[in-house]
Amino acid sequence: MTQTAELLIDSKCALGEGPFWHPDRQQLFFFDINNQKLFAASATGDIEGSWSFGENVAAAAIIDADNLALVTETGLKRFNLQTSEQSLIVPIEADNAATRGNDSRVHPSGAFWIGTMPKNEDARGGTLYHYRAGKLSVLRSNASIPNATCFTRDGRTAYWADTPTQQILKVETDPATGLPVGDWSVFADVSEGPGYPDGAVVDSEGYLWSARWGGSCVVRHAPDGSVDRVVEVPVSQVTCPAFGGPDLKTLFITTAAKTLSPEQLAAEKVAGGIFAIRLDVPGLPEARITL
């Protein structure tokens, strides 16, 4: 089955990323990493809030109705949406100006899996961290571009990708702690395309939706890794999907305009926009971080 997402917000993000639906606020949040901005929008695409930062911000976990835990260039920070007040939760690579945060998501246990990556995308030095209840530990290191972090509803399986490898991996996790308890294995090899695996999310049926950088689509994988359906997106650099809306049946999709040539930008006038499609299967609510 092939479907097509439509433009919801012509946001022109250099690097749209990290979308998530906040049920308390009934808003979609997303980042423009390169422009150091966070946005909040209604389900119908109206921008209802925006915040600027003095460093790259890439992802967030929900604390409560007014507070997020932001993955920034220098650490995990508590951020109040009403006052814009920030406070440090834990430093992460604060002494390394060559890296920044990237794709991150909360496990059902409340553990926050946080990815970092080199700002020079041809380098290695990316890390996957596990944060829960005040403790930060390393899960994987020496990655290039950590992506596709997501989890099954029962908290027993985690997915992750180092984008250039064109493989989505999986590992068994402890549902109470979010820590890996088994060996990593290949869930899906996407080396024949389309594109490279970027952000991902799991729906209520246990299927994984994988955004494809350079592939102009989001691919739905069955639990056995096979391709179930494809949602086409009318721009090439597709970065991350998120389920939202009151019934969690809208798939929101972030995209990017960075690195496109003038000719490509002329052909992809809405690159960097937010796209959406209504689906017949709901997603899962985002788990909340355990601080």
The DSSP result for 77-139, as a single string, is: EEEETTT--EEEEEESSTT-TTEEEEEEEE-TTS-EEEEEEESSTTS--EEEEEEETTEEEEE
- Predicted pLDDT of residue 122: 84
Is pTM, for the whole model, over 0.95? yes
119 pLDDT band, cuts 50/70/90, is: very high
Which amino acids are annotated catalytic?
198
What's the mean per-residue pLDDT of the chain?
97
Residue 39 in contact with residue 30, Cβ under 8 Å?
yes
Summarize pLDDT for 207-216 with one digit per residue, the tens: 999 999 999 9
pLDDT of 69 higher than 90: yes
For residue range 147-202, what is the model confidence (pLDDT) as tens digits? 999 999 999 999 999 999 999 999 999 999 999 999 999 999 999 989 999 999 99
For residue 193, what pLDDT is reported?
86
Q: How confident is the model at residue 123 (pLDDT cuts 50, 70, 90)?
A: confident
Question: Which two tokens mark 239?
Answer: 């970065």
CA atoms of 36 and 45, how far apart (whole Å):
20
Cα distances from 32 to residues 16, 254, 285, 286, in angstroms, run 5, 9, 22, 20
Report whether pLDDT(121) > 90: no
Residues 6+ apart with CB under 8 A from 214: 194, 195, 196, 236, 237
* Domain 2-278, second-level architecture: 6 Propeller (2.120)
